Amino acid sequence: MRWTRQLTEDVVLRPVTLDDAAALATAYADSWLHLAPWEPERPASWFTAEGQRREVEAHQRATGEGAGLWLVLVEQTTVVGRVSLTGIVRRAFQSANLGYWTAATHTGRGLMTRAVDAAAAIARDELGLHRLQAGTLLHNVASQRVLRRCGFTEIGVAERYLRIGGRWQDHRLFQRILHD
């Protein structure tokens, strides 16, 4: 499958499909206590297979339009994370925003570092992008470590950048230039 990468012996990074909807709903529900501090508030439907099916359909439309790419980390049939390239802008900019999360059961293994590196390679080599940008909450040191390991550099702080946990919060912004 296009854009698929083997991250470890057991975990594959690949494009999200409609067949992943139930597994995504389970992954979000099972890891919500871990993810909630870093995520926007979500409606109850977010944690259902039908809610995730609607999300995946929207992601697939956006991918088809060249506006983004959504990938899942899968261990056998279990979704253990997600990486997204969103807001792809072409022409002179050739840039996208990077987002990601790991299931609570799979943190601290270097898995997301591998996934972010793989997504950056896809962005550069297959999507022809020049730059990726990512933002983290100021206190999300683990995510900042992933970005730095993957060659991202800090470019500043954006005040009240995203509405996370029900309130506008400052974010530390990073970028990675993919082409010299």
State pLDDT tens for residues 141-163: 999 999 999 999 999 999 999 99
Give the closest residue to 81 by CA, choosing from 54, 118, 121: 118
Q: Model pTM?
A: 0.94
Q: What is the pLDDT of residues 84-100, one digit of tens each?
A: 999 999 999 999 999 99
pLDDT above 70: residue 169: yes
Query: Which of the two residues, 123 and 166, has the higher pLDDT score?
Result: 123
Identify the weakest region by mean pLDDT among 32-36, 128-132, 158-162: 32-36
Q: What domains appear along the chain, each with residue ranges and CATH number?
A: 5-177 (3.40.630.30)
* Mean pLDDT value across the chain: 94
pLDDT above 70: residue 1: no
pLDDT above 70: residue 5: yes
Residue 86, by phi and psi: left (phi above 0), alpha (psi -120 to 50) or beta?
A: beta
